[in-house]
Amino acid sequence: MKSTLIIIRGNSGSGKTVLAKELQNYFGTDKCLLLQQDVLRRNILHTNDHVGNPTIDLIADLAEFGKKHYPITILEGILRKDVYGDMLIKLCKTFSPNILIYYLDIPFEVTLRNNNQKETPFSTTQLRNWWRERDYLPNDTKFSDIGTSAMLEQIINDFEQLKK
């Protein structure tokens, strides 16, 4: 079976991490590698999010690792188009046709509410500064504010259809 890449993108507080972790739980940690942009960039590399930052190469390398060792690799993060877009497009070609890419197009007010439920929330000013309106990639499936359960169900259905 060919490895599948699932990319989940969107603004801070849109629900990417919760959705990605639920997907990994559904598929099983033994079958699914979860790559979290924030963990890689902030906690491992301690770098800012800018064009040319080393996280771009690390994500690409880890996704290739996932392709070799796991049936499913999930990549989640803000993954700004201007910073990560070229790398994401290359990854899509590498995993093609087994690629599912989603953009959580959630209103700012909802992301603010979600953010305030975090153990260590960001300030409203930070969220506004990071906000990217419609930061779509060409093949993004866009999710509006339909809830984590509905998004999870849709991704699982899309995955099953991809495997047919």
DSSP state of 45: S
The CATH number corresponding to 4-163 among 3.40.50.300, 1.10.10.10, 3.30.70.20, 3.30.70.100 equals: 3.40.50.300
Q: Which residues contact 130 (CB under 8 A, 6 or more apart)?
A: 11, 12, 78, 122
Residue 108 is which amino acid?
A: F
Q: Kindly state the percentage of the chain with pLDDT values over 70.
A: 99
What is the tens place of the pLDDT at every residue in 47-102? 999 999 999 999 999 999 999 999 999 999 999 999 999 999 999 999 999 999 99
pLDDT at 138: 87
Residue 1 has pLDDT above 70, yes or no: no
Angstrom distance (rounded) from CA 118 to CA 37: 17
Q: Kindly state the percentage of the chain with pLDDT values over 90.
A: 91
| Mean pLDDT computed over 4-21 | 96
Domain spans of the chain, in order of start:
4-163
Q: Which residues contact 7 (CB under 8 A, 6 or more apart)?
A: 74, 75, 76, 79, 88, 91, 92, 99, 100, 101, 102
pTM of the model: 0.95
